[in-house]
Amino acid sequence: MNWWLKSRAVLTLAGCTVLMTLAGLAFGSTELPLPALTGGSGRFLLAGLTPVLPAVLWLNSTGRVGPHTESTAVRAVARWDTALATGLATAVLALTLVGHLLGADVIALTVGRNTIVFIGIALVLEPLAGHRSAAVLTSVVPLFCAAAGWRSGGVGAEPWALILHPGNSVPAFAASLTLLAAGAVFSFVRPFGTRASWLREATA
């Protein structure tokens, strides 16, 4: 356990996640001038970008050792990594809910939900593409949503672009929890040997 805590830099990861969450609460309502492919520009907020950082940091922390090395370990460290990701998502959600109850506007809910979305995406992509590729793909998601996630004329977001929906959107929040749960189950039960096998086969 001590080796796992040090190799994953859990304390540093947790601290950075808290700082990123607080930054999202403070500056999340800042609007970024990103163009949309539908013509015009939707209202893309910083709260749609900063929550991707905990997911990318988690991928970086858990990807320091090669998967083949860890697959021979006695303990199922990949399952500990999954628990770490879900723990981070839960902690961020709790922090943002408390912030909202203490007077923060709906942007607090947006930050919490979007963090869940990105961590859920990271949990799904990591077994398929490996840590490095998953980090790149996860980082591209907010830019892709900003460009293609708005309906024609920039009025309203597409149902799949969860990070663009208002923080108080119940369907978007339910979908984000479903994504996190599905990602956690997929990451938890996958065989060690399947890690990044899809990517290796695709590039062979």
pLDDT in tens, 43-59: 789 999 999 999 999 99
Residue 106: give the domain boundaries: 2-203
Per residue in 71-104, pLDDT tens? 444 566 888 899 999 999 999 999 999 999 988 8
Among the listed residues 138, 164, 129, the one whose alpha carbon sits nearest the alpha carbon of residue 150: 164
pLDDT reported for residue 5? 79
Is residue 38 within 8 A of residue 150, CB to CB? The reply is yes
pLDDT of res. 57:
93
Question: What's this model's pTM, rounded to 2 decimal places?
Answer: 0.86
Vertex 190 angle, CA 11 and 85, to 5°:
20
Segment 131-181, tens digit of pLDDT = 899 999 999 999 999 888 888 765 788 999 999 999 999 999 999 999 999
- Cβ 47 vs Cβ 109: under 8 Å: no
Helix (H) or strand (E) holding 84, with range, is helix 77-101
Count of domains forming the chain: 1
At residue 152, the pLDDT reads: 76
